[in-house]
Amino acid sequence: MVTQPSMSPLLDRLTLPGDLKRLDRDQLRRVADEVRQETVEAVSATGGHLGAGLGVVELTVALHRVFDTPRDRIIWDVGHQAYPHKLVTGRRDRIRTLRQGGGLSGFTKRAESPYDPFGAGHSSTSISAGLGMAVGRDLAGRSNAVVCVIGDGAMSAGMAYEAMNNAGSMDSRLIVILNDNDMSIAPPVGAMSAYLSRLISSKPYLSLRHLAKDIADQFPRPLRDAARRAEEFARGFVTGGTLFEELGFYYVGPIDGHNLDHLLPVLENVRDADSPSGGQGPVLIHVVTKKGHGYPPAEASKDKLHAVAKFDVITGAQSKGKPKAPTYTRVFADTLVTLAEADPKIVAITAAMPSGTGVDVFEKRFPNRTFDVGIAEQHAVTFAAGLATEGLRPFAAIYSTFLQRAYDQVVHDVAIQKLPVRFAIDRAGLVGADGATHAGSFDVGYLGALPGVVLMAAADEIELRHMVTTCAAIDDAPSAVRFPRGEGLGLEMPEHGEVLELGRGRIVQEGSTVALLSFGARLGECVQAARELAARGLSTTVADARFAKPLDHDLITRLARNHEVLITIEEGAIGGFGSFVLHHLATAGLLDSGLKVRPMVLPDRFQDHDAPAKQYETAGLTAPAIVATVLGALGRDAAADVGSARA
């Protein structure tokens, strides 16, 4: 029997990053190739984020070769580019469990590995976290390095600049690597640029600069300041980076992020220097990379195969199932386009998620009425508020989990001023493989607490069309509609949406003993639960609340007075719709009659990534769980009840 040679002989020899240090320098190029191929093959089997990870393969290898991880901290901003990092930090044997139930997270995660010093699912947090680690290190008297890797997209968020402004005013040593894979802040990355980067990061240059600074400090202040400005201008003229210098960072770059001969000496210089500024302080290394680098299908793709389903490695063709119905996102987009055809005041805003939110569909029809503000949710909300003051009808399409980042703006800039900003809250509820960082669990609670906000949740795609239409018609208050990820139910869609009466739910089916009051897309599970309860002799009403705010007090009162059991069901955390219902029942004295009320919400924990159906089963928000809750409220044994029903 002939044994086939390994396709990754060097990677097979790597267990932990320290093994990279035992390889010859000229072997690292081959290691990078093997890591890239392994990344492609793993993601082809699991789906996930691909392009960003392929762009940082050489950088990953260089960082773990040069720095002593996990003693030295490497913080990957967002974390979706960290698959190669996972491959070389002891997780290769589990790499084909990425984003699967019980498997590796699609992001960095502290609980998963000591090589993940900071968990990240949202962007632009790395510099803040890294500065905190650097200060903590200094206070403890340690000397380890702290390295933050942040993409140019993440640099569009204000939090990154807040952190840099703070870091630039402090003495703590911090290394920030700007992974420039799109903006091309400073394009020259050839041999001359690499030479200059090595030069200005080298010990002789830093020592000379420090000596010049000491001499200049002896001059009168006007001459000292002039000398400093002249040096910064001269260096900025040939290397760029003036913005970062003004923020207090010592700038090195740009350098080719796919050339290990350029990366390694610069990283080594920065590691070995007492400090890049000649004393103390932060440094920024500008690395230029390409998303999808080294994998032709990704390089040829418009989005560089940023996020993919399972795919064929040879062709890059993704094995996406044929959709049974349009996605909720597409229903939102199509409805908004239809409304905007008749209303020139409708505009759309997204925070760097045009395709994810459907705003790209709107943009194709109305490019001048579409605004992608970058990864800047806070700005997106206040920008929308400004548009509203001028009589426009802005729709801010933002994932539930990302809207959390702009809560202060929602409160102060929108709600207090009663500005009619319309929030299209995508990815409401559990989201499967992206896990806890992306789950839309809290928006009902945090928006429902605000006076005057109209808050809706779509039970199906028809309801979503009606609710988007309703939002467009509300001109005196903020409004929001939440809807889940994934496909609709395949219902026949009306050509136009209806404007719903605010604060009015609907009865889906009438019963007499049990009332199931759903808020959102669990309505189908409620209907199925009602069938199962009917088989047990329990007559059940199913109602769709539609609104969490204003709450349909009349509907809730009717359900409470005419039924023995009232169950509320929602895809949100405790403190949301069910809490609003309980508050009304308590203040109206409707709990005094012996009514049995049970709110069903997401469990009080962060749920790990898994298939959506499995997540909802684990959360207890399925038809069988609803039936069990009803039977428990009635004091009936579920198993015995099943036997009785079958008899």
Q: Which residues are catalytic, by number?
A: 291, 377, 405
Residues 6+ apart with CB under 8 A from 78: 52, 107, 120, 121, 122, 123, 151, 154
Which own/partner pairs from 339-345 qualify as long-range (CB within 8 Å, at least 24 positions apart)? 339/468, 339/469, 339/472, 339/497, 340/365, 340/366, 340/369, 341/365, 343/393, 343/472, 344/369, 345/391, 345/392, 345/393
Residue 601 contacts residue 576 (beta carbons within 8 Å): yes
What is the longest distance spanned by two Cα atoms in the chain? 100
Q: Kindly report the number of other CB atoms within 10 A of residue 99's CB atom.
A: 21
257 three-state secondary structure: coil
Measured CA to CA, the distance from residue 508 to residue 527 in angstroms comes to: 8
Q: What does the block give as tokens for 290? A: 């390409």
Q: What angle do CA 428, 380, 355 make, to 5 degrees?
A: 55
Residues 6+ apart with CB under 8 A from 225: none
Burial class (CB in 10 A: 0-12, 13-18, 19+), 1: exposed
Provide the CA 38 distance to its chain's centre, in angstroms.
25
Residue 471: name the closest of 418, 425, 422 by CA. Answer: 422
Strand partners, 506: 544
Torsion angle of C-alpha atoms 383, 388, 391, 392, degrees rounded to 10:
70
Q: How far is CA 475 from CA 13, 345, 503, in A?
A: 64, 12, 16
Measured CA to CA, the distance from residue 280 to residue 295 in angstroms comes to: 40
Quick check: bond before 70 cis, omega within 30? yes
User: In sequence order, which ranges of 171-303 are alpha helices (DSSP H)?
Assistant: 191-200, 203-216, 221-239, 242-246, 260-272, 296-300
Q: How far is CA 314 from CA 41, 295, 297, in A?
A: 10, 10, 8
